[in-house]
Amino acid sequence: MSDLTANTGVYPIDLWGLAITVALVAVSAGLSWIMRLGVERRMLWATMRSLAQLLAMGYVIKYVILWNNPWICFALIAVMILAAIQITLTRASNIPKGLAPQVLLTLAVCVVLQISVVIELIVRPHPWYAPAVLVTMTGMLLGNVVAATAVAMSRFFSDMKARRYEVEMMLALGATPFEAAKPSISASVKMGMIPTISQLASSGIVLIPGMMAGQVIAGADPIMAGKYQFVVLAVISALTLIADSLIMILVYRTSFTDRDQYRADL
Amino acid sequence: MNDRRHRRMTGMTTTTTPCLLEAERVTCAVPQAASAEHAAPSTSRHASFRWPWKRGAAPKSADQSGQSDQSDRMTGSAQSASGTKTIFHDLSFTVRGGDVVDLIGPSGSGKSTLLTTLAQLNPHATATMRLDGTDAGGMTPERWRRLVAYLPQRPTLIGETVRDAILLPFTLKVHQKDDQGNPVNEPAPGEDTIRRTLDRVGCGDIELDRSPQDLSVGQQARVCMLRTLLTRPRVMLADEVDAGLDDENADKVGEILAYAAGEGMAIIRVRHRPADGRATRTWRLADGALTELEAHEAHRHEQADRAAMDAEGKGDQL
C-alpha cells in the first residue's frame, strides 16, 4: 500500500489542471454549438458528470484501500454492478422494459468470472481481496461490458424490428424463435464487439491504452505495464464476448410471446 | 368454370382424411392503440433536454411491462387503457383434404388475420384447433406451423441464391427432429424437383444460382409459394400469392395449388381476383362473421367486394 500512495503523485494534477481540462471541453462544446452539431450540452453534462464521478470514485477507492476489508470491497463492487445495470438500461435505446434481471445476471457472471479467474489466478494479489486490484479491474471490466451489452441490446431490438417480415416468414415456416432471431443475435453480438476487438488489435500500435499509459506515467516499468495491459485487454475482451452472448440468449425471447409468436408491438 | 372444377374433383384421389383441420372459438381482438405505440419512442427524441443521461429512456408504451400482461391480450380480454377491437369472434369451421377454399370479404375485414390465426402466428388471436384429429396443444407451435403453413402476402426470400432460399425450411429444426427430439426423414427436395416446380409456375427463366433479390416481385411471390409447397404442409394458407401477376401466371399459380389440393392438401386462399373456378368452397368474412357461400352467391359477393375496393382506390393488382 505504501508504494501505491507513492505512485499517485509523480506528476500531480492540481486544480489548475482540472480547470484547463474543463475549459478545453467548453471550447469544443462552443465549436459544436457554432456548427450546430447538437452534442454540446450532452458533452458538457457528461464531462461534469465524469469529473464528479471519477473524483468520488477516487475517494471511495482510497478509503476502501485504507479500510482493507473484504466486505466493504465487495459491497463497493455490488454498488458498481447496480449502477452498471442502470447505465446499461438507459444507454440501450428502444429496448423493452423489464430487462434489469437479465442485465444483472450477465454483469454478475462476468464479475464473478473476472474475480475468480483473472484476479485470483493471474494477478494473485495479497491479500486475495486487495481492493486496489479488485475494484479497479472490476471497474474496467464493467465499463467495457456495459458499453458492449448496451450496443448489442439496442441493435438486437432494432434489427428484429427491421427484419420483421423475415422473422414472421421464418416463424411461418416452422422456425423456432431462436432460429428466427439468430441473424439479429449474431449481428448484434458482432456490433457490440467491434470497439473491443479493434481496441485489442490496435493497442500498442496507434493506441496506448489508458491503463498502460497511467502506469507508465506513474513511473512503473513499461514492460510490466504492457503485460498488465495485455492481460486486462484480452480478459476484458473475452468476458465482453461472453457477456454479449449471454445477454442475447437471455433477452431474445422477449421479442416473442410464449406461444412463439413475433411481438410486433415492441 | 364449373366444369373445370368438377373435372379436378372427380380426378381427386379418395385416400385423404375426411376432416383435416377443425377450428372452433376462433377469436381475434387487437389492442386499438397499436399503431400509436410504434410512434412513441421516436417522438420523444426531441423532448425537453432535462435528463441527458436518460437518452434511451424514452417513455415506452403501456403494454411493454413484460410478459405478464400478454396472457390477458391473448385471450382477448379488454385492455384497461386502450380497449380492444374485435376483428372476429367465435368462428367455427372445418376444412377437408382436397378443399380449395376462397376467402373473400371487404378489405380490412380480417382475412389475413384469420389466416395468421390458423397458423398460430397472431399474438392477439385464440382458437381451439385440431389437425388430423390431433389437438393443437399436442404439438409445438413450430410443428403446427410446419403443417399449417401460412404464406405471407409480402414475399421474403433470404439466402445467396434462389436455391438457398427455397431450401431454407429444410435447415430448420422442425424438419430435422420431431417434437420428441427423434430424427425425422424429411429430405430436402432435389435439384430436379425444384427446377420442375419452378417451370410449372412460369418461372422457367429463373436460374437457381441467381440472387433472389434480382427477381421481380411476381417471381419472388411464386418462389415463396414453391418454398412452402415443397415442405408439403397439410394445410396451406395462401395470402394473395397471385397479386401482381399477369393472368397467365396467376392461372399457373392457381393450377399448382389445385394440384396440391388434389394430392390431399387443403388450401385456403385470399384472392383479389375474379374467381378462377378452382375453388371448391367460398367463405366470406365480413363484420366479424364468417359465412360459407353457395357457388352463385359467391360470385355476386366477390364482385361486390371487388367493386367496393376499386372504388376505394385500392383495387386488385392486375
Give mean pLDDT, residues A110-126: 87
Q: What is the DSSP letter of A96?
A: P
**In the CATH scheme, what is the code of domain B2-31+84-312?**
3.40.50.300
By Cβ distance, the residue of A95, A259, A265 closest to B120 is A259
- Using a CB-CB distance cutoff of 8 angstroms, which residues of chain A are in contact with residue B159? none
Give mean pLDDT, residues A230-248: 92
Report pLDDT digits (tens) over B87-99: 998 999 999 999 9
Q: Which residue has the higher pLDDT, B186 or B73?
A: B186
Residue B316 pLDDT class (50, 70, 90 cuts): very low
Give mean pLDDT, residues B49-62: 41
What 3-state class would DSSP assign to A176?
Answer: coil
**How far A88 CA sits from the closest chain B CA (Å)?**
10
Give mean pLDDT, residues B33-58: 42
Q: What is the mean pLDDT of chain B?
A: 79
Per the CB < 8 A criterion, the answer to whether B235 and B147 are in contact is: yes
- Using a CB-CB distance cutoff of 8 angstroms, which residues of chain B are in contact with residue A92? 56
Any chain A CB within 8 A of the CB of B52?
yes
Give yes or no for residue B156 having a pLDDT over 80: yes
- b/e A204-243 (16+ beta carbons within 10 angstroms → b): eeeebbebbeebbeeebeeeebbebbeebbebbbbbbbeb
The H or E element spanning position B91 is strand B84-95
Q: Which of A181, A174, A261, A259 has its CA nearest to residue B232? A: A174
Interior CA angle at A45 toward A41 and A47, to 5°?
120
pLDDT at B133: 87
Q: Which of B71-75, B78-82, B175-179, B268-272 has the lowest mean pLDDT?
A: B71-75
What was the ipTM of the complex prediction?
A: 0.77
What 3-state class would DSSP assign to A266?
Answer: coil
Give mean pLDDT, residues A223-231: 88
Asked if A95's CB is within 8 angstroms of B121's CB, the reply is no
- Mutation test of the interface with chain A: which of B32, B53, B146, B160, choosing the one with the most A Cβ atoms within 10 A? B53
Any chain B CB within 8 A of the CB of A94?
yes
Give yes or no for residue A16 having a pLDDT over 80: yes
- Using a CB-CB distance cutoff of 8 angstroms, which residues of chain A are in contact with residue B146? 173-174
Any chain B CB within 8 A of the CB of A202?
no
Give yes or no for residue A47 having a pLDDT over 90: yes
Asked if A175's CB is within 8 angstroms of B152's CB, the reply is no
Q: Of the spans A113-122, B248-257, B300-309, which averages the highest pLDDT? A: B248-257
Question: On the CB side of B171, how many CA atoms lie within 13 Å of its CA?
Answer: 13
pLDDT at B82: 56
Report pLDDT digits (tens) over B7-41: 444 444 445 446 689 998 999 988 876 444 443 34
Per the CB < 8 A criterion, the answer to whether A84 and A144 are in contact is: no
- Mutation test of the interface with chain A: which of B65, B156, B179, choosing the one with the most A Cβ atoms within 10 A? B156
Give mean pLDDT, residues A236-260: 94
Q: Which of A174-178, B45-49, B112-116, B273-277 has the lowest mean pLDDT?
A: B45-49
